[in-house]
Amino acid sequence: MNIHRSGTFVMPFHRMAEKANGGRVYGLDRHLAHAFLHAIGNPPLRLILWDGREISGKAASSAVGMVIHDRGAFWRLMINPLLHFGDDYSAGRIDIEGGLVQFMETVYRSMACVPKFSRKSDPAAYRRNQPSLNSLSGSRRNIHHHYDIGNDFYRLWLDEEMLYTCAYFPDPATSLEDAQIAKMDLVCRKLRLQPGQTVVEAGCGWGALARHMAKRYGVSVKAYNISHEQIAYARQRAKTDGLEQRVEYIEDDYRAIDGTYDAFVSVGMMEHVGPDHYRELGSVINRSLKEQGLGLIHTIGQNCSRPMSPWFLQRIFPGSYPPTLREMMMLLEPLEFTVLDVENLRLHYARTCEHWLERFERNLDRVQEMFDEPFIRAWRLYLSGCVANFNIGALQLFQVVFSRHSNNRIPWTRAHLTSSAGEL
């Protein structure tokens, strides 16, 4: 069995057909199942076939099982597991026993040890499996696909302020609500915001951070986003909160940012920019940051350049790509920005996604009123996959603070991160 670097299995179809023709389908299924388990590194996983047969790998005990309801799903899994597992799970033709998160952690950990699933950085990783890259129009399509499916849906499982990015838990037991506020404070302190300053935000989601900065730190914010639904919500909230004078939400691409500011901030947008456009983002920052300004980029990242799975890119987040730190430097190095601070909040994102998944399941009744079963199963798979990928270290969360190289009014130590100096 050959495996392409993108994870596609190339099956020896002629041999499969021969065996089937010889009437040994029963043995073939078993053979294929073992070959499949071997190819993904023999994880402690049971495969339960449509007729009740159970095939286990070499591992002694298997806490998790994959129930495959028909031979079509089984064969599709062999051909391109990274695409068809997601689709057939969504369609209910595959089920998981023992917990979806545990299943994915088990399988991903195992696959990571298989040399064939190359762990080497792939310079073309961003382009692989992408339905649509992030040009101005491509970005609009990609963002619309995910973020415009309905604010009411997101309200069911996000926190009250609708933050859809990694929270910061001072303690693992902190509530999601408090952890999102702690995250916003962490960002504001890293930027050392002072009353009267101006901030530009690239990719503002439903606008919570912009409102928080204005309300708690006394700054004026221009916040950009190309999601129509999110901007509409953000504007409404700013009006309700009486922040219209200090927060301006602009429905436009980050590439349209103009003016100069004391701080540049982007939380959870760089994942949607794509390495082809890092230099463009860099030049936007370069033209908008004042001489003594500070910048912060908060983004999902990874340790090596690897493509996201085709299922994730086609069904969940088209155009997305989490950069490595080296790739983030492609943005900062050509413009001589100085990196002041990098913090990795990987385990905080696993915890955040656990909260989201928990709330999603808790509000399942209401989700079912909005969406059909395949959507719900796809979303469950997506959120569970996020928990698993952050837990096993396949994804990271980088907060990078930077300044111009000539700026000596940078923080002397990190003492400002724990004080509430700039807060109102």
What residues line the site for a second copy (CB under 8 A)? 109, 112, 119-121, 169-172, 303-304, 324-326, 329-330, 332-334, 336-344, 346-347, 391-394, 396, 398, 405-408, 410, 412-415, 417-418
Closer residue to a second copy, CB minimum distance, 60 or 173:
173
Q: What value, to the nearest 5°, has the Cα angle with vertex 145 and ends 187 and 125? A: 70
Task: Please report how the helices 278-288 and 325-332 are oriented relative to each other, as an axis angle in degrees rounded to 10.
Answer: 50
Whole-angstrom Cα distance, residue 383 to residue 231?
24
Closer residue to a second copy, CB minimum distance, 248 or 343:
343
| Tokens coding 20 | 């089937």
Measured from the CB of residue 323, what is the shortest distance to a second copy in angstroms?
Answer: 11
Question: 164 near 346, Cβ under 8 Å?
Answer: no
Measured from the CB of residue 338, what is the shortest distance to a second copy in angstroms?
Answer: 6
Closer residue to a second copy, CB minimum distance, 245 or 406:
406
Closer residue to a second copy, CB minimum distance, 240 or 338:
338
DSSP 39-71: HTT--SEEEE-TTS-EEE-SSS--SEEEEE-SH
Whole-angstrom Cα distance, residue 4 to residue 309?
13
Whole-angstrom Cα distance, residue 264 to residue 14?
58
Closer residue to a second copy, CB minimum distance, 248 or 341:
341
Give the single-character DSSP code of 388.
Answer: H
Measured from the CB of residue 230, what is the shortest distance to a second copy in angstroms?
Answer: 29
Q: What is the dihedral of CA 371, 300, 190, 147, to 10 degrees?
A: -30
Closer residue to a second copy, CB minimum distance, 227 or 299:
299
Indicate the helix (H) or strand (E) that contains 295: strand 289-301
Residue 89 CA: distances (Å) to CA of 4, 69, 308, 373: 22, 10, 18, 11
386 flagged as catalytic: yes
CB atoms within 10 A of CB 191: 25
- At 218 the three-state DSSP class reads coil
Which of 332, 329, 333, 293 has the alpha carbon at shortest distance from 191? 293
Measured from the CB of residue 402, what is the shortest distance to a second copy in angstroms?
Answer: 9
| Tokens coding 9 | 């299995």
Measured from the CB of residue 417, what is the shortest distance to a second copy in angstroms?
Answer: 7
Whole-angstrom distance between the N-terminal and C-terminal Cα of the chain? Answer: 63
Strands 64-68, 45-48: parallel, antiparallel or unpaired by DSSP?
parallel
Measured from the CB of residue 107, what is the shortest distance to a second copy in angstroms?
Answer: 15
Measured from the CB of residue 347, what is the shortest distance to a second copy in angstroms?
Answer: 7
| Tokens coding 62 | 């298997």
Closer residue to a second copy, CB minimum distance, 372 or 412:
412
Catalytic option among 166, 188, 353, 386: 386
What amino acid occupies position 46?
Answer: R
Catalytic residues: 386
